[in-house]
Amino acid sequence: MDDKADVWQGTLALMVLKTLETMGPQHGYGIARRIEQTSGDRLIVNYGTLYPALLKLEQEGYVASAWGVSDNNRRAKFYRLTRAGRKRLAAAAQEWERTTAILARFLSGETS
Amino acid sequence: MRFIRTVGRRLGAIFGRSRRDRDLVDEIESHVQLHIDDNVRAGMSPAEARRHALLKFGALESIKEQYRDQRGIPLLDRLAHDLRYSGRLLRKNLGFTVIAVAMVAVGVGVNTGIFTVLNAAAFRRLNLPESDRLVTIAQTFTGKVYRNVHGMPSLASYSEYRAYRDGTPAFSGLLAYVPYVEVTLGGEHPEDLVGTLTSCNYFDVLDVRPAFGRGFSPSDCSAAGASAVVIVSDVLWREAFSADPAVVGRTIVLNRTSFTVIGVAPPNFNGTEAITSAFYAPVTMQPALMRERVFPHGVLSDDNLSWLVLIGRLRPGVTIAQARADLAVIAARADLQHSGRVTHLSLNPATLASLPEVRSVVLGIGVVILASVALVLLIACANLANLLLARATTRRREVALRLAIGASRGRIVQQFLIESLMLAGIGGVAGSLLSFWGSTGVVRYLLAHLPGGSPSFEFDVTPDLRVFGYALGLTVMTGLAFGIAPALRSARTDLTAALKQDDDRSGPGRAGRLRGALVGLQAGVCAVLLVACALTTRVLIRSQTIDVGFKTEGISVASYDLAGAGYTAAHAQSFQRQVIDRLDAVPGISRVVPAGTSPLSNNHSATEFSSPTGEQAAQLEFTNVAPGYFRLLGIPIVKGRDFSDDESRGGTPVAIVSQSAAARLWPGRDPLAATLIFEKKTAVVVGVARDTQVSHLGVPESPMIFFVDTADDALHNQLLVKANLGAAETARAIRRAAAGLDPQLVINVGSLGDNLELWRAPARIVSALAAVLALIALVLACTGVFGTVAYAVTRRVREIGIRIALGADAADVLRLVMKQAMRPVMIGLTVGLVSAAAVSSVLSSLLIGISAHDPLSFSAAALVLSGSAIVAAYWPTRRALQVEPTVALRHE
């Protein structure tokens, strides 16, 4: 089976992209908070682990970053989804749904 | 696409590293601040808010490292970091760095230097256009072979050359040549020249155009003696024609034959050999230019004579295998004419040493020398490994800290290896530069100081890609060799012990054993080199002091080429008689004796001798000498008598045999009046001479057959002249006498002592080389012993202090430490001596008169090594003992 770290990294990246699509441009802390909330506080243990993942997404061109000012006037680095990122998100989401569906059929023991 | 983009970003991140680092720090700070704000808003106290935020963020350093790994290329980052760190470390310990770099530089430098010379001699392609397409062709014969040889057996005959040339489509051209043709240049001041006889397509196949005039055309080689033309070398043009631009059409006289100059070779062109060639003449001019040998069937028409070197140019895209197949067809056809004979062809890329006989000699010597200097490098590596091991122990704390913080052991190993490779790299570059500059200088010096009578050589030792590759490979291997042990040892550091500074483990124990083994290795290798040095030195001493059995003072040897000058036998006889008469009349010259060869001239012929009254036949050397030869050289006739003047004028052929020849042919019997049979001729033995070393230096039993010198021999004789005028005046007198008879004849005069020197020269060179290497090895090995003992003793100062305080005798402590220090040395020495005994037979061809297992040499080597090691170990131990016990006890 896949290496656990890779799976988590892949899903984390997906969650980041989805969060940015939903929330619009956001800083690292905000993304971390939001993911935590959405997953029902069951997922990320350390916020810092987000940053290497954000860097990877930026290297691949799916997000872009710029320094800005937050709600409460703190200087923060904001990330936003790019066009490529949007497309990637759509494709990845589709893949996940397909995988889940196939797996669901196996696990429920149904035959077509 | 994504991948390229990612790699691009990561490569780009190498630049502006510190800016990006600050960026990250800012971002992390901002994140934490935002979190703190939220926490405070949720009701926490500022201190608690901060603590909670930091906790939720995670391990700061770990995340920073993850981030950096993602950002850059971790491998390159780590490499860059290690390089910077190593550089700083080396700069801090400058003394150690200098010593280590010096050791590596000497080791790698000497090795690269030797390899550069070997490369130029045996591996490098010739300095000609597209020389990688040039191939040398050599023949070996098996089965029933009867072959005449001029030079080397693997050469070809003229008919074989033409058959190969015309029948091999694989070659765009095939040339033949005879190297080293000695002729006399006539003129106001006749002198000897060395040139080359070549086929008429020589310059075409080599793709070289003469600087002036034309090359040869096929008509120049149409028949023997057809075209007396010559192409002169650039040097000869400048010397003999004063660089006359209108030289084409002028004539020169070679061997009393007039040759027309049709061209001048380009400057820096020297054909395909190392020996300088002054001219190039068509091979069909052989009868005029190669007269020193008399072959029964003539040279050009003898199908069974080896005398021509063949070099072919492969067509584009054709392989050597295809060419060999083409040639094999023709060779098989030739074999049909000689039933029972099989010709084997070997094709090699053309280098200065591509003929099998030359190659085996050059590579044989080269490999032995290369192996010896490699051994020296090995000692240096062992020394450095020991030094680094000692230093690694000092750095245990630093390594333990890094391991504790989270570095992997692999990372530690990597960093130590980078350090060693850096040291090796600096040393390797320095050594290689030294060697490039040094080998050119040394070779130039050697070529300028060859013993008299040697031809001149053109030998280019500029390094090429192969040499650089060798230097690089050697440097890397050296760095790994001495770096791997300390690196692995450091990675195995026991954390707790290291952090507690618990370091009383430098005597016995694993670390001590490894250091001891390295010292033992050094001792063993040093022993091998010392044995080689001792053996060659003994040979040198022997060759310098040996009694050769004949007198050499005051005797000069005059040689001249009458055959090359076109003399007939009768003319030569008359010339010889007149010269002797003239010389006899010179006051100061006491005796003149003609002989076929002079003692130790190394050009004796040999053939099979047998006797009807004797035992089985034997292959023995022979020469012809006039009556008075033995008296001149002080060789006693132990049985029978010397030749008489009547016998030299003709009649029954007579001979004098040396004692060992007599023992070989007629063991236990009286050889006088016995008949000798050789080459379908006979002679009667009239005397037995005492054994001397007229043939080989250092071999006391040289069986030799002396025939009486007859009139027919005058054509190829030399003159032995005994005089008390001094060498220079004697030479002048001889030349004056000869010039009075024939002013165009070139007379070479040397002293008999020169012949002896020529035999001694190789022994001198080899023993000098062996001595230098052995000395370097001894210094390195003793430094190693000294360093190890000094280090061990420093760590045991406290222990020594305790022993002395408890009442131990200083001498006892000394004995204890010395015993422990010398143990690895003695083991290594023994192993080394055994190995030396196993391989010393490699040198046996040089060890004239000394056994390859000479006990005196082996004992001397053992004594020198153990003695030096004892001194090297004693010195630091004594210093340690002089420390006051109270001070020692307080030593950390």
pLDDT tens sequence across B206-223? 999 999 888 899 888 888
Q: Is the pLDDT of residue B508 over 60?
A: no
CB hemisphere CA count around B824 (13 angstroms) = 24
The residue behind tokens 């040897």 is B557
How many whole angstroms separate alpha carbon B844 and alpha carbon B851?
A: 8
The beta-carbon neighbor of A48 closest among B34, B57, B71 is B57
Residue ranges of E strands in B240-362: 251-254, 257-264, 279-282, 305-306, 309-314, 341-349
The pLDDT of residue B507: 43
The per-type count for chain B, helices as H runs and strands as E runs, is 27, 23
On whether any CB of chain A is under 8 Å from the CB of B69, the answer is: yes
The pLDDT of residue B614: 74
On whether any CB of chain A is under 8 Å from the CB of B93, the answer is: no
On whether any CB of chain A is under 8 Å from the CB of B12, the answer is: no
Q: Is the pLDDT of residue A90 over 90?
A: yes
The pLDDT of residue B892: 54
Which residues of chain A have a CB within 8 Å of the CB of B59? 46, 48
pLDDT tens across B314-365, in order? 999 999 999 999 999 999 998 888 888 889 999 999 999 888 888 988 898 8
Q: Is the pLDDT of residue B108 over 90?
A: yes
On whether any CB of chain B is under 8 Å from the CB of A108, the answer is: no
Check CB contact under 8 Å for A49 and B28: no
Three-class DSSP labels, B656-702: EEEHHHHHHHCCCCCCCCCEEEECCEEEEEEEEECCCCCCCCCCCCC
Q: Is the pLDDT of residue B77 over 90?
A: no
Which residues of chain A have a CB within 8 Å of the CB of B5? 59-61
The beta-carbon neighbor of A74 closest among B10, B28, B37 is B37
How many whole angstroms separate alpha carbon B347 and alpha carbon B354?
A: 9
Q: Say which DSSP state A47 is in.
A: G
On whether any CB of chain A is under 8 Å from the CB of B58, the answer is: yes
> What sign has the CA pseudo-torsion B463, B467, B469, B471?
negative
Q: Which of A35-44, B239-248, B325-334 has the lowest mean pLDDT?
A: A35-44
The per-type count for chain A, helices as H runs and strands as E runs, is 4, 3
Q: How many CB pairs under 8 A join A and B?
A: 75
The pLDDT of residue B452: 65
Å between B96 CA and nearest CA of chain A: 42
Task: Find the residue in B nearest to A36 (Cα).
Answer: B56
In this prediction, residue B292 has a pLDDT band, given cuts at 50, 70 and 90, of low
Check CB contact under 8 Å for A60 and B33: no
Check CB contact under 8 Å for B27 and A74: no
Task: Find the residue in A nearest to B61 (Cα).
Answer: A48
Give the residue with greater pLDDT, B425 vs B78: B425
pLDDT tens across B252-280, in order? 999 888 999 999 999 989 989 988 999 99
- Interface mutation target, options B65, B69, B70, B73, chain A, most CBs of A under 10 Å: B70
Q: Is the pLDDT of residue B479 over 80?
A: yes
Which residues of chain B have a CB within 8 Å of the CB of A55? 67, 70-71
pTM exceeds cut of 0.95: no
The pLDDT of residue B407: 79
Å between A38 CA and nearest CA of chain B: 17
Check CB contact under 8 Å for B27 and A46: no
On whether any CB of chain B is under 8 Å from the CB of A28, the answer is: yes
Spatial contact of A63 and A86, defined as CB atoms under 8 Å apart? no
Task: Find the residue in A nearest to B38 (Cα).
Answer: A72
Check CB contact under 8 Å for B60 and A48: yes
In this prediction, residue B293 has a pLDDT band, given cuts at 50, 70 and 90, of low
Give the rounded percent of residues in chain B with a pLDDT score beyond 70.
96
The pLDDT of residue B348: 92
ipTM of this model? 0.85
The pLDDT of residue B315: 94
In this prediction, residue B795 has a pLDDT band, given cuts at 50, 70 and 90, of confident
On whether any CB of chain B is under 8 Å from the CB of A90, the answer is: no
The beta-carbon neighbor of A61 closest among B5, B27, B37 is B5
Q: Is the pLDDT of residue B172 over 50?
A: yes
Spatial contact of B747 and B560, defined as CB atoms under 8 Å apart? yes
The pLDDT of residue B536: 87
CA angle B197, B200, B202 (to 5 degrees): 75
The pLDDT of residue A2: 45
For chain A, the straight-line distance linking the first and the last C-alpha, in angstroms and rounded, comes to 26
| Structure tokens given for B136 | 């040398």
How many whole angstroms separate alpha carbon B233 and alpha carbon B251?
A: 14
On whether any CB of chain B is under 8 Å from the CB of A87, the answer is: no
Residue B747 DSSP SS3: coil
In this prediction, residue B295 has a pLDDT band, given cuts at 50, 70 and 90, of low
Q: Is the pLDDT of residue B628 over 60?
A: yes
- Interface mutation target, options A9, A33, A51, chain B, most CBs of B under 10 Å: A51
Q: Is the pLDDT of residue B565 over 90?
A: no
On whether any CB of chain A is under 8 Å from the CB of B40, the answer is: no
On whether any CB of chain A is under 8 Å from the CB of B677, the answer is: no
Task: Find the residue in B nearest to A51 (Cα).
Answer: B67
On whether any CB of chain B is under 8 Å from the CB of A70, the answer is: yes
On whether any CB of chain A is under 8 Å from the CB of B855, the answer is: no
Three-class DSSP labels, B206-268: HCCCCCEECCCCHHHHCCCCCCCEEEECHHHHHHHCCCCCCCCCCEEEECCEEEEEEEECCCC
The pLDDT of residue B231: 94
